[in-house]
Structure 1
Amino acid sequence: MSDLILHEYAASGNCYKIRLTAAHVGIPLERREYDIVAGDTRTPAFLERINANGRIPVLQVGDDFLPESAAACLYLADGTPLIPHDRFDRADMLHWMFWEQYSQEPNIATLRFWMTTIGEAGLDDLQRAQLPGKRAAGAAALALMDAHLARTPFFVAGRFTLADIALFAYTHVAADGGFRLESYPAVSDWLARVAGQPRHIAM
């Protein structure tokens, strides 16, 4: 595999997913840090060369650049047990990864960033108006996860896959956004199982 460089903001759960996937499959990554608050990903050099969308993470593979955390995780895990061989299970894994980006991350991750990086006092009127909706949607996402995990130890096929990595990243720090993880016992047990996997690394 070509030399790999992760362009990242280390505190981001989306960036952590890629580091965690790389750790599980034993692939080394060079890491380059950007200060998203200072606008490091909005410079002309970044936009022209690394990601025209002005966002990280971006996985650099040789001279090529792969934005989006799910795409980068799939690239790293290709051909490994993290991606199920069974056709349905593989699609189910993708279902949970897509759901994470659409229903979980926009609420739990956003609240975490607002509370820990900006601070509630620093929110603008639009952000403040979104707080109740994001809290409700984040709680609904955790409740859905809890109901599913009450029936199975992991999200797909009863075993650890990329779906667990994708969902672990922001769930395990959801308390930073004001969510009470103790209210979701199956989620809490699952978090412990994921953290107990061989080759697991902390955020």
Structure 2
Amino acid sequence: MKVYGDLQSGNCLKVKMLLSFLSIEHEWIDVNILAGETKTDAFRSKNPNGKIPAVELDDGRYLCESNAILGYFAENTALLPTDIYLKAKVYEWLFFEQYSHEPFIAVARFIQKYLGMPKEREDEYFSLQEGGNKALQLMENQLAQTKFLVGNEMTIADISLYAYSHVADEGGFDLNHYPEIKKWCHRIQSTPSYVGMM
């Protein structure tokens, strides 16, 4: 199995973490998005949307979209509950990550870390702060009640939201305002087989 990604990317880190936690063997193939490697015809034959991560399964089929990949590999493992309500709560957080968290925190981080805060994107960067802090506060509120986002056991909801939350400071978000998130990050980092960003 091959995984195409960039370990500076939170979306790719999610997949790397899950495969490590589940001890799933794979070949990691680095893709440089800034060099346009996701725009080539060769890459678009794997993911027509031209984004990473992309997984090439052993049978030659492809999977894209990080949270869909998490759901695929977590099926029938302890990282995805079998109870249908709890499973739905996991997916609730996965949708939250894509719609209410990542568009603010990951984009602000991209502007600051990857692009070096170009003048023409400063207004956009500052406009993202309110939405990102709102998302972090919602997580903080939940983590004040439970050790992980869906109860007291780690699930793919935690892996998904950890990926960009733990580096939110690289997008201008002060995690010192969110002590429960910081403790949660430490719990995840202390999990056997944890891998972080390169």
Q: Which residue of 1 aligns with 2:168?
A: 174
Q: Which residue of 2 aligns with 1:153?
A: 147
Segments of structure 1 that go 5 or more residues without pairing to the other structure are: none
Q: Which residue of 1 aligns with 2:35?
A: 38
Return the TM-score normalized by structure 2: 0.95
TM-align CA RMSD:
1.1
Counting only pairs closer than 5 Å after superposition, residues 3-42 of structure 1 correspond to structure 2 as 4-42=1-39
Segments of structure 2 that go 5 or more residues without pairing to the other structure are: none
Q: 1:41 aligns to what SS in structure 2?
A: coil
How many pairs align? 196
Q: 1:59 aligns to what SS in structure 2?
A: strand
1:58-103 deviation line (CA, Å, top 9, x unaligned): 0111311111001111122121100001110000000001100111
Structure 1 residue 132: Cα displacement: 2.5
Q: Give the partner amino acid of 1:54.
A: G
1:14-49 deviation line (CA, Å, top 9, x unaligned): 0000010001111012011111011111112222x1
Return the TM-score normalized by structure 1: 0.93
**Correspondence 1:100 to 2:97:** yes
**Correspondence 1:113 to 2:110:** yes
Structure 1 residue 137: Cα displacement: 0.5
C-alpha contact 1:114 1:123 (8 A) present in aligned 2: no
1:123-150 deviation line (CA, Å, top 9, x unaligned): 53xx333223211100111111111111
Q: Percent identity?
A: 37
Q: Which residue of 1 aligns with 2:134?
A: 140
Q: Could you list the runs of 4 or more consecutive aligned residues of structure 1 that deviate by over 2 angstroms after TM superposition?
A: none
Q: Give the partner amino acid of 1:106.
A: P
Q: Which residue of 1 aligns with 2:49?
A: 53
Q: Which residue of 1 aligns with 2:84?
A: 87
